[in-house]
Homo-oligomer: A and B are copies of this chain.
């Protein structure tokens, strides 16, 4: 940590700060420049993360040297972690996972038909929401446990692991009974109580990036899960909120290679939510693969026009098939399989 002092800090103020820092078993090294005096703190500055150093008299600003996350960091583990979803699917290795399904589970017929179609098209993980976080209290809120049962049935029938969202600490046990992987949605990325609960489980967690979360905050949320004992975290870039309104969100593909320089956790991309526009999903799925994503999550619905949520951005199975075929070519071009 570097503490920059205000122009006219007194000797007494400097001594006070140095003493405070020593109290945390850290060493303070004072350097007087012509315009500003700085104090370099030597040692693990993370012990100061809960100390309001900027509130100390005489302090102008504080700059941190170390990253605030540890278990999520590349310093902790050099190679990308490989997360096992079961049924032969691993995320984080050379193979790129294809995760597909409807936004919501709407009926047994709809889900089984979609599962069959995406499997045939080349998907190896099934997604579908049973609990839905909807902006409007008047919108469809999901089929709850009944939806989970349908997902579990589809898994058995088509041998694909199932990813589904958990919204509430009170549902963690229930979702755990049926799913192979928890999804934490963008709006819950900083629902810390929920992160703690899935951190106490053994199952993989797909952690979506909040739509106004920095990469650092995203990794801190992963740290919550890791610090509670669950090392099976998969990150998912799904678009951030910007001033641009022609797309629903701005899919920040650069976050994928960026995360790979900072963390060992695998990262997948969600171009469906990331763009919210059908014609952009195919090119952005291919771009995700080229950017290094470990998986691609796509919404597919046999009849988008009747979907109870996000129908506007769902691909038809035949469109999804073309996407998988062409994404496979791009994967091959960069030396990966899909």
Q: Mark A1-45, 1 if CB is under 8 A from B, else 0.
A: 010100100000000000000000000010101111010101110
Pick the interface stretch among A84-92, A110-118, A155-163, A326-334: A326-334
Q: A314 interface residue, CB < 8 Å from B?
A: yes
Q: Are A66 and B288 in contact (CB under 8 A)?
A: no
Residues A50 and B254 in contact in the complex (CB < 8 Å), given A31-B40, A65-B36, A243-B214: no
Specify which chain B residues have a CB less than 8 angstroms from the CB of A292 in the assembled complex: 283
A192 proximity list for chain B (CB < 8 A): 133-134, 137, 167
Binds B, one of A145-153, A174-182, A220-228: A220-228
Query: Which partner residue on chain B sits nearest A225 by CB separation?
Result: B137
Interface readout for A293-332 with B: 1 if CB under 8 Å, 0 if not? 0000000000011111111101000000000001001101
Question: A290: which of B140, B247, B278, B287 is its contact (CB, 8 Å)?
Answer: B287
Q: Are B167 and A52 in contact (CB under 8 A)?
A: no
Contact at B280–A254, with CB atoms within 8 Å?
A: yes
Which residues of chain B are near A44, meaning CB under 8 Å? 34-35
Known pairs A290-B289, A332-B333; A217 contacts B55 (CB<8 A)? no
Shortest C-beta distance, A278 to chain B (Å), equals 8
Q: Is A168 an interface residue (CB 8 A)?
A: yes
Are B312 and A224 in touch, CB under 8 angstroms? no
Asked whether A54 is an interface residue with its Cβ less than 8 Å from the other chain, the reply is yes
For A61, the closest partner residue in chain B by CB is B65
* B251 with A251: CB separation less than 8 A: no
From A93-101, A122-130, A200-208, A256-264, give the one contacting chain B: A256-264
Partner of A254, one of B29, B46, B275: B275
Number of A residues with CB within 8 Å of any CB on chain B: 111
A173 CB within 8 Å of chain B? no
Complex Cα spacing A291 to B271, Å: 12
Q: Inside 8 A of A277's CB, which chain B residues have their CB?
A: 258
Contacts of A210 in B (CB 8 A): 212
Measured between alpha carbons, how far is A211 from B251 in the docked complex, in Å?
A: 16
Q: Tell me, in angstroms, the Cα distance from A322 to B201 when the chains sit together.
A: 43
Per the bound structure, the CA–CA distance linking A309 and B138 in Å amounts to 37
**Cβ–Cβ contact A283 & B291, under 8 A:** yes
Contact with B along A210-248 (1 / 0, CB 8 A): 111011110010011001100000000000111111110
Taking the complex as formed, is A79 at the interface, i.e. its CB lies under 8 A from any CB of chain B?
no
Q: Is A253 an interface position by the 8 A CB rule?
A: yes
A-B CB contact pairs (8 Å), 20 listed: A2-B65, A31-B40, A31-B42, A33-B42, A35-B44, A46-B138, A52-B311, A63-B63, A68-B136, A133-B192, A134-B192, A135-B217, A191-B191, A212-B241, A214-B245, A216-B246, A240-B242, A286-B291, A287-B287, A326-B334
Further pairs besides A168-B194, A242-B250, A242-B252: 17, Cβ < 8 Å: A33-B65, A35-B44, A38-B65, A40-B40, A55-B312, A133-B190, A137-B224, A137-B227, A167-B193, A169-B169, A191-B191, A211-B212, A246-B258, A247-B254, A250-B252, A254-B280, A257-B279
Q: Across the A-B interface, give the 3 residue pairs with the lowest CB-CB distance, nearest first.
A: A52-B311, A212-B212, A290-B290
